[in-house]
Every structure is written in structure tokens, then in C-alpha cells.
Amino acid sequence: MIFETKEKLNRFTKAKKILFLATCILLLASPAFSQKTKTLLADGDKAFAEKDYFSAAGYYNRAIMQDSSDIVVQYKYADASRLNFDLAIAEHWYTKVFKKDAQGKLYPECSFWLATLKKNKGNYKDAKKMFDKYAKKNKKKKDSYFVKKAIQEVAACDYAQLLMATPDKTVSITHLDTMVNSKVSEYAPFQVDSLLYFSSLRDGKDRDKKNSVNYNKIYTSFQKDSVNWLKAIELDTLFNRNGIHNANTSFNADYTKVYITRCVPKNAMEFNCDIYSSEYKNGKWTSLQKLPADINAKGATNTQPAIGFLGAEEVLFFASDRTGGEGKMDIWYSKIKKDGSYGKPVNAGKKINSIDDEITPFYCKPCQELFYSSNWHKGLGGFDIFKSEFKNDELGEPKNLGLPFNSNLNDIYFSINSKKTQAFISSNRIGSYFEEKESCCNDIYMIKLPKVDEPPQKIDSTQVFVTQMKLLVPLTLYFHNDEPDKKTLAITTPKNYKKTYEDYSAMRDLYKKEYSKGAKDADLERAVGDIDNLFDDSVDAGMQDLEKFAQLLKKVLADNEKVTITMKGFCSPLASTDYNVNLAKRRISSLRNYFREYENGVFVKYIDNKNPKEGSITFFDEDIGELKARPNVSDDYYDTKNSIYNPVAALERKIQIIAISTFSANRE
């Protein structure tokens, strides 16, 4: 149901949960438990096809209790658990499948979903590696949604780390208490004066028995003071009609017209929604009227109405999955004419909309900004809240609101109250109330705002670049055995690290051949996979990070930052300590050469620059570190399989940028 996005996540009452558990116990104690896995899978598949992921997960769970080693059952259970928001269970079983099917021959999307779950946990570095590997492995399927999404997520994981390092400390966020929130989902907050309108699944008296879910109703709660609220009250039957879902309250500029959404289920998780309105006349609200067919496109979901202004023109924003959009759910708008009629809906465009979902629009007239949520644009995970400024007669590029507005889970339904003093969001972030699953349900959160008409604080872009550089540290770079410059005690080299890397990267097939000697079948496949992981996740990834570091370094030096880069060399115990110390120094020398020769010497003028008013680079070397031999790593020169080509041995042949410090010449 898109009008609350993921709000059907807590669809079952405690009584049903207890009944389900009791049924499982009885099954365990009876001959019926021996029911064939095939039958359980068939029942699970049927429920899954109907998007009843709770029931599907239950059937797959029973099947996996009979045979937990069956990879087919493992993957089905992982899929159903992910879609039922049992994220921990989903990650557990995806991990099992991933280890068995490391090359992705049976379940190519397993690594994609595992990466998604890692991102949802805030494990951005590991998620990035998995997304990057998935995209590269499937690059021939460049038009595939999963490949496009994986490429987008690689950049998003980098950006998420920056957002985590730079939270907005000027705002505070409050989780509203149980006067407003419950163990099921609350969403679509909209405050007029001190009265908060919101939607919730809490009413168990009016229930969709076929799909085992309470019908959504609209509620209000009065804000007594900055922290206290009165107990929520359900609106009357003018707005909350029984036997149908009612949600998404929104008002026009002078609060004389209200819009809501009403939805009917297509299946256990999908709905057809239409937008209705009511006018305040003669001291009361008129009966709700369905908006015209242009707004409520037949066969589509049309939901989340919000009044806004594009320039001087009043428009109705809404979300819809109608044909003609950019992807799934898109933001659309329709001009409201002087006679109250609506113009033909217009798609908000490619800057706003994507091949994924854009939902929950809200327009701030004083800011001239459209707020909305997207699970495509670069963010922390799930849905993030973005804003786009209306300028020069168009909506601009999306900007992520960052922390604390967004989290690594779903953050939706941003709105600003009528007094322009508070904002509200709905989120299933950790800390939200729940009955069964920690991330199942959305709650309402309140954010204290600076004055909306105050100019935004100027962003120090140089410090943003510095932060991005620091997020790349420790930056690890790898070498082939005894490189650069074999069999010498020299402590410097004329070689540039980039050339050393290119030579090393070209040896991937040689490493596969040497490391897999004597291996067959599954062991052969595993050995080849280990070498691919070595080059993808370490050798190539290190070079990619170095290129990013250099680009950022160029930007901060141009703004007169003084940068100190601390480096350290490591090496395996294959040779003597004295030899290894000199080898590590040569490796650091190759990195210094990289910086000196980068883009035809762009950094040369900054290296050891003494001018106090200009940017500079100072290199500092830490003591050389020799790593102890690890298990299965040989220090026998003639055992090249394990002393040279073993990935564990290869990971010891490295140098690192271990620290970076900066100071601005402009502040001296």
C-alpha cells in the first residue's frame, strides 16, 4: 500500500501470533509435522505470489525446520523474510545461500539483497563492496534494474558515510510518545495549529479479514506543550468510512479544503488508491468527493495529496504509479485553476523521479521547496527524505536532508506545521515501537526547526571534501611480491604506484592459475573466487579509493588547505626484516611518485610548500610494520602457491595512508 509505503508491516494482532506459534508447537508434536517439504513450498509459493509474505515466511520456516540445508528453501525463506521486514532472519539465510552459491549461478540476486540488508544496518563499506562486485559481474546486463540500482548504490554508500559524519546539529528530533504512536504504524503527520492529523492501523474493530489487516483510519492528537500530547482520537465517519482504508490528510493554503486518500486492496500488500476532497462550508465539512479521472487514473494508485505552489500557480502534488512516469511511484502535479478545476497531471520530471519510488510529497511555500521521499536517490538506506528547490521555473536537483531527518531505514512523510516551527516525519528507524519485528512499523517523529524564512547556513564545501578524504582512511594499497624493483636494497624507486598497480592487476589470471593448482570441482571454483575477491575487494578497490583521494586533495589544496598525509608500509615475512623494511620504503616511495606525477604534476607546487598563505602537502612516514605469518600462509620462498599467490599472503603486501590532518591557510 503506497499511501503508507511499508505500513502493512504489522498486519497481525498478538492473538494471531500466539495462535500461529501454538499451531507450530502442535505440528511439531504430531505426525502432521512430517508433511512433505514439497507441499510446504507449494503453499509458501502460493502465499508469496499473493504477496502474503507473512504466511509465505511461515510455510518456508516450517520447511526449513525439516531440512535447513536445502538451498532452495533457504533462499525462499530469506526472500519472504526480507519482504516481511524480518531483516535479521533474511540476512542470516541470504548469508547461508551466498556462501554455498558464491558465484551466483543459482541465485544471482542473492548478493544484491545481502548488500541491501548490510546498507540497512549502516554497514556501508561492506555493502558498497558487494554492490560494486554485483554490478561488475553483471555488467553485460547493463539495462537490468538490479545492475542500475547496484551502480547507484555504490555511490550512495560513499555518500551515506559522508552524511553519517556530518549530521545537522542545529535541529533536535523527538520520538512522540504513546499518546500518538502505538505498536502498529503511524504515518502521514500534518499539524494545523496545535492539532496533529495522522493515519494509523491501530483500530482492530474495523478489520479486513481476508487480508488479516486492520483498516487504516485518520486520527488527531492535540499538542499541549513542547513535549506533551493528548490521547489520539479517531475522526468521525465523514472521513473514516468503515470497510476501506482512509489516510493521508492534507489541507489547502487557507485550510478551507481537505484532501485524503481512500484505498481498496488488490492483494495482501498492494492497493488501488484514489484521492478525495471536502470543503469547509457554513461551519462544517461537506461530504468527501472523489477527484476527477485525470487525477484518479483508472487502474493506478493515486495517493498522498499535497497542495503546493510553483511560482504563483497553486498545484496539487500527489504520488502515482500511472503509465507515462519514470518508474514505479512518481511525483505528479496538477494545476488548480481559478474555478477550482484541475489541469492535466504533469510528471515532476527526471530530476525528481527515477526508475524506483518517489513518494509522500510536501511543498513548503516560504522555502519554495518540494520535499519528498525516494529509495533511488543517494541516501542512508531505504527511503530518504529529499528536497528540490523551485527556481527559474523548474524543480532542481534533489538534496538529501541528512541526519537526523534520515536514517538507514525508511523515512517518509515529511511535513512542516502551519506555524512553521516544527516538522514531522514517519520512520521505522531503530527505536520505533513494535510488536513483533524491530523494524516493522513506522512511528511519528517531531523536529524543532529554525525559522523557515531564515537563510540556510552556508555549507563549507572544503570541509565536506576534507571529511570525504578522511572517510577513505585508512586507505590500503597492495603490491605483487617483491615489488616495486625486485631483489634490491634500495629504499626509493622511480616507479609510480599507478604503474605498479596496473602490472599487478594484469596478473589476476596468473594468480588464479597458481593458487588453484591441484584443486578440482568445488575447491577449484572456490580458489578462483578467492582470487577474484582479492582483486575486486582489495587491489582494485584500493586504486579506486586512491583516485578519489587525489581528486579530493586537489580541491582542498586549491582552497589553501595545508594537508599532512601519514603513510605506513607493511610486508609479509617471506624475506629478512632488513630487506622487508627497505621494500616497504620503496613501496611508500612509489606512492609519493604517484602524487608527484598526478595529472602532469598538479601537486608538485604544494609538496613541502612553505608559503603560509597557500595550500601544502607534507608527507610523514610511520615505522615500517612486518606482519606475522598467518595460518595457511607459507614463508617458504619455493612454496609459491601459499607464500605468494595465496590471497591471505597477498593481503600482507601493502602500504596505507593511515591518517590525514588539515589546516586552512585562510584561518592563519
Q: What are phi and psi of 659, to 5 degrees?
A: -160, 155
Report the interhelical angle of 53-66 vs 71-83 (nearest 10°). Answer: 150
Residues of the chain with pLDDT below 70 are: 1-35, 451-459, 572-575, 625-638, 665-668
Q: Are residues 497 and 553 in the same domain?
A: yes
- Taking only the tens place, the pLDDT of each residue in 317-352 is 999 999 999 989 999 999 999 999 999 999 999 999
Q: Are residues 489 and 534 in the same domain?
A: yes
Final residue belonging to a domain, choices 456, 487, 507: 456
Q: Are residues 151 and 235 in the same domain?
A: no
Give alpha helix (H) positions in 366-412.
none
Q: Are residues 438 and 478 in the same domain?
A: no
Please check whether residue 95 lies inside any domain of the structure: yes
Question: Given this model, what pLDDT does residue 21 score?
Answer: 40
| CA 327 – CA 319 distance, rounded (Å) | 12
Please check whether residue 1 lies inside any domain of the structure: no
Q: Are residues 347 and 413 in the same domain?
A: yes
DSSP conformation class of 232: P
Q: Cα separations (Å) of 344 from 295, 313, 335?
A: 8, 14, 7
Handedness of CA 509, 512, 514, 517 (dihedral sign): negative
Give alpha helix (H) positions in 421-520.
461-471, 497-505, 508-515
Please check whether residue 170 lies inside any domain of the structure: no
Question: Given this model, what pLDDT does residue 635 score?
Answer: 61
Question: Given this model, what pLDDT does residue 636 score?
Answer: 61
Please check whether residue 633 lies inside any domain of the structure: yes
| CA 601 – CA 229 distance, rounded (Å) | 63
The CATH number that applies at residue 273 is 2.120.10.30
| CA 510 – CA 499 distance, rounded (Å) | 18
SS3 544: helix
Question: Given this model, what pLDDT does residue 643 score?
Answer: 86
| CA 309 – CA 343 distance, rounded (Å) | 14
Closest listed residue to residue 304, CA positions, set 369, 371, 356, 386: 371
Final residue belonging to a domain, choices 456, 479, 502: 456
Q: How many domains does the chain have?
A: 3
**Residue 203 · residue 218 · CB < 8 Å:** no
Closest listed residue to residue 434, CA positions, set 182, 189, 224: 182
| CA 568 – CA 547 distance, rounded (Å) | 18
Handedness of CA 572, 577, 579, 582 (dihedral sign): positive
The CATH number that applies at residue 62 is 1.25.40.10
Q: Are residues 533 and 402 in the same domain?
A: no
| CA 395 – CA 384 distance, rounded (Å) | 18
Final residue belonging to a domain, choices 135, 165, 195: 165
Q: Are residues 443 and 585 in the same domain?
A: no
| CA 160 – CA 32 distance, rounded (Å) | 49
Quick one: how far is CA 70 from the chain centroid? 30
Q: Are residues 130 and 159 in the same domain?
A: yes
Question: Given this model, what pLDDT does residue 103 score?
Answer: 85
| CA 115 – CA 126 distance, rounded (Å) | 7
Q: Cα separations (Å) of 403 from 155, 348, 494?
A: 18, 26, 46
- Taking only the tens place, the pLDDT of each residue in 233-280 is 999 999 999 999 999 999 998 999 999 999 998 887 888 999 999 999
Q: Are residues 516 and 637 in the same domain?
A: yes
Please check whether residue 2 lies inside any domain of the structure: no
**Residue 622 · residue 567 · CB < 8 Å:** yes
> CB-side exposure of 447: number of CA atoms within 13 Å?
23
Please check whether residue 385 lies inside any domain of the structure: yes
**Residue 421 · residue 439 · CB < 8 Å:** no
Closest listed residue to residue 16, CA positions, set 299, 268, 209, 294: 209
Question: Given this model, what pLDDT does residue 17 score?
Answer: 43
SS3 350: coil
SS3 645: coil
Question: Given this model, what pLDDT does residue 29 score?
Answer: 39
Q: Are residues 468 and 564 in the same domain?
A: yes
| CA 20 – CA 54 distance, rounded (Å) | 11
List the domain range (segments joined by +) for residue 563.
462-667
| CA 449 – CA 226 distance, rounded (Å) | 13
Q: What are phi and psi of 497, to 5 degrees?
A: -55, -35
What nine digits make up the cell of 373? 521521499
- Reported as type and span, the H/E element at residue 308 is strand 302-310
Question: Given this model, what pLDDT does residue 577 score?
Answer: 75
Q: Are residues 366 and 338 in the same domain?
A: yes
**Residue 430 · residue 439 · CB < 8 Å:** yes
Q: Are residues 131 and 180 in the same domain?
A: no
Question: Given this model, what pLDDT does residue 207 score?
Answer: 82
Please check whether residue 41 lies inside any domain of the structure: yes
- Taking only the tens place, the pLDDT of each residue in 596-653 is 999 999 999 999 999 989 999 999 988 775 555 555 555 666 678 988 999 998 998 9
